Structure 1
């Protein structure tokens, strides 16, 4: 599956770009077969005004809990990578959100996804919304979620 790298909100006020490396990580974890478990990780990148550049997506670790219809990211491993990237970039590459897969062609967030995203946004020290991405078999879903709940949905830009 080939996902597009450039995304925008409906009004084009916010732009989102996924690096080639990030898109490759997403593609490697698509739940293509009935036996594949959900996968996920952190989204690391930089902020440019209202726009986001996702430079890296961490991959599942041995400590993460992976099932067919559930992914629970454990902090160990992911947070070490995020801190390392933050330090090496002198604070320009930061935690911007989370990604995980769904075993469906065109993914939509579940009520559990929504409650987790709102909780993650509320925990942000910098008060920024959380970028939430779900990788499906044929498309992906991307939303910038503020602490108040539903946020801005991104759409692919050709």
Structure 2
């Protein structure tokens, strides 16, 4: 399993880069077997103008709810990691968004995914768009969701 690390928005104005450790976390939770439950967490990283470096993806915690076709992230462990990273980096490493898996080769968001992304984006105190990633068996789905609910899809850069 090898996911691409560099991505660009369809409008070519925004670039993303996933760190090796972020991609490793994604790979560790791919739903490869018919019995594997969805997994997910939050995305932490730094913002450089219009561009983002995703430095960490938190792994599912014991409190998260995991089912074959549903992942519900609970705030406990993820929030503590985000606060710790924010403090240690003096505010440069921040919450960028959410990730979760789908049991599909090439994932796409469900209506429930879109509703949740819109809800989370609208709640952001910093008013920045929220990064949403779905990890499939063979590829990623990457989208930036603005506070208004508008979204911008991303494409892997070879």
TM-score when scaled to structure 2?
0.99
Q: Which residue does 1:95 correspond to in 2?
A: 95
* CA-based RMSD: 0.6
Q: Which residue does 1:4 correspond to in 2?
A: 4
In structure 1, what is the Cα distance between the partners aligned to 2:10 and 2:75? 33
In structure 2, what is the Cα distance between the partners aligned to 1:154 and 1:52? 12
Q: Which residue does 1:146 correspond to in 2?
A: 146
Mark the runs of 5 or more structure 1 residues left unpaired by the alignment.
none
Q: Deviation string for 1:10-37 (max 9, x for gaps)?
A: 2310000000000000000000000000
Q: Which residue does 1:78 correspond to in 2?
A: 78
In structure 2, what is the Cα distance between the partners aligned to 1:108 and 1:11? 20
In structure 2, what is the Cα distance between the partners aligned to 1:152 and 1:10? 7
Q: Deviation string for 1:27-79 (max 9, x for gaps)?
A: 00000000000000000000000101000000000000000000000000000
In structure 2, what is the Cα distance between the partners aligned to 1:11 and 1:114? 20
Question: How far off its partner does 1:113 sit?
Answer: 0.3
Give the length in aligned residue pairs: 158
Q: Which residue does 2:65 correspond to in 1?
A: 65
In structure 1, what is the Cα distance between the partners aligned to 2:34 and 2:82? 31
Structure 1 stretches of 4+ with a deviation exceeding 2 A read none
Mark the runs of 5 or more structure 2 residues left unpaired by the alignment.
none
SS in 2 for 1:59: coil
Q: Which residue does 2:18 correspond to in 1?
A: 18
SS in 2 for 1:25: helix
Q: Which residue does 1:126 correspond to in 2?
A: 126
